């Protein structure tokens, strides 16, 4: 979608793209698009969780506060929410196995929650 040609706002365009990615099973793309709508809005429900998962999805080497947040929200000892290719949070490494059943389910759940929060923010 091109917002300048359709008259839609960039946030609505991002939301539309995020929903499309969700239904296509491209959860990383969905989360990245939807996070653009809520970025820096720390008052939203689940912001810390959304921010940390986005950081894990886009950065190879993570800062300590990100690995701490990931472990708090998704860590294998707490929920076992992901399958990992490599999990070494003390050294800033969290490589999610995006093809594992656990990872796909968790990413779907997070993406769905994030889209719901975006719709709430945009009053849709």
pLDDT digits (tens, 9 = 90+) for 27-72: 999 999 999 999 989 988 889 999 999 999 998 889 999 999 998 8
- Structural domain count, the chain: 1
How many Å apart are CA 107 and CA 105, to the nearest integer? 6
SS (H, E, C) the chain: CCHHHHCCCHHHHHHHHHHHHHHCCCHHHHHHHHHHHHCCCCCCCCHHHHHHHHHHHHCCCCCHHHHHHHHHHHCCCCCCCCCEEEEEHHHCEEEECCCCHHHHHHHHHHHHHHHHHHHHHCCC
Dihedrals phi, psi of 13, to nearest 5 degrees: -65, -45
How many Å apart are CA 14 and CA 54, to the nearest integer? 15
Which pLDDT score is estimated for 1?
47
Which pLDDT score is estimated for 77?
55
Which pLDDT score is estimated for 71?
86
Task: Quote the mean pLDDT of the chain.
Answer: 87
Residue 7: give the domain boundaries.
3-121
Which pLDDT score is estimated for 73?
86
Which pLDDT score is estimated for 118?
94
pLDDT digits (tens, 9 = 90+) for 69-88: 998 888 765 457 888 898 88
Contact 102, 80 (CB under 8 A): yes
């Amino acid at each position: 979608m091109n917002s300048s040609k359709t008259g839609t706002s960039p946030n609505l365009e991002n939301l539309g793209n995020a929903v499309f990615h969700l239904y296509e099973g491209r959860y990383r793309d969905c989360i990245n698009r939807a996070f653009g709508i809520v970025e820096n809005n720390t008052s939203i429900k689940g912001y810390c969780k959304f921010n940390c998962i986005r950081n894990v999805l886009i950065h190879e080497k993570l800062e300590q506060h990100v690995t701490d947040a990931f472990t708090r929200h998704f860590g294998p000892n707490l929920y076992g929410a992901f399958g990992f290719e490599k999990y070494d949070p003390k050294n800033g490494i969290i490589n999610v196995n995006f093809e594992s059943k656990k990872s796909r389910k968790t990413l779907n759940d997070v993406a769905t929650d994030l889209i719901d929060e975006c719709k709430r923010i945009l009053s849709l």
